[in-house]
Structure 1
Amino acid sequence: MTGARSLLCHMDIVLEDGSIAESTKQSGKPVWLNVGDNSLSPEFEAQIGQLQQGDKHQFILQPEAAFGPINPDAIHYLERSRFPADMVLEPGVIISFTGPANSEIPGMVRDVAADSVTVDLNHPLAGQVLKFELEVVQVG
Structure 2
Amino acid sequence: MNELPVDKGTRVTLHFALKFTDGQVIDSTFDKEPASLEIGDDNLPENFEAYLLGMKAGDQASYEVPPEKGFGQTNPNNVQVFKRSDFSAEMVLEPGVMISFADARQTELPGVVSRVEGDEVTVDFNHPLAGRTLVFEVQVIDVEPAGPAH
Same fold (TM > 0.5): yes
Q: What's the C-alpha RMSD, in Å, of the aligned pairs?
A: 2.5
Residue 40 (1) aligns with residue 39 (2): no
Show CA shifts across 1:56-85 (max 9, x none): 221011101100000110000111111111
Higher helix share: 1
After superposition, what is the alpha-carbon deviation per residue over 1:77-108, rounded to whole angstroms, capped at 9, x for unaligned? 11111111101111111111112432211111
The number of residues matched between the two structures is: 137
Question: Whole-Å Cα distance in 2 between the matches of residues 39 and 136 of structure 1?
Answer: 17
Kindly indicate whether residue 111 of structure 2 is the aligned counterpart of residue 107 of structure 1.
yes
Dislocated runs of 4+, deviation >4 Å: 26-29, 35-39
Does the aligned pair in 2 maintain the 1:89–1:112 contact within 8 Å?
yes
Which stretch shows the higher mean deviation, 26-35 or 92-101?
26-35
Match of residue 30 from structure 1: 35
1:101 alignment partner, SS class: coil
Task: Give unmatched runs, 5+ long, in structure 1.
Answer: none
- Which residue is 1:132 aligned to? 136
Q: 1:1-140 alignment to 2 at 5 Å?
A: 3-26=8-31, 28=33, 30=35, 32=37, 34-35=39-40, 39-41=45-47, 44-139=48-143, 140=146
Identity rate of aligned residues, in percent? 38
What are the ranges of 5 or more consecutive residues in structure 2 without an aligned counterpart? Answer: 1-6
- Secondary structure at the aligned position of 1:68 is classed as coil
Cα contact 2:60–2:140 (8 A) shared by 1: yes
For the residue of structure 1 that corresponds to 2:105, the secondary structure is helix
Distance 1:30 1:110, change over 3 A: same
Paired residues of 1:53 and 1:136 also in contact (CA < 8 A) = yes
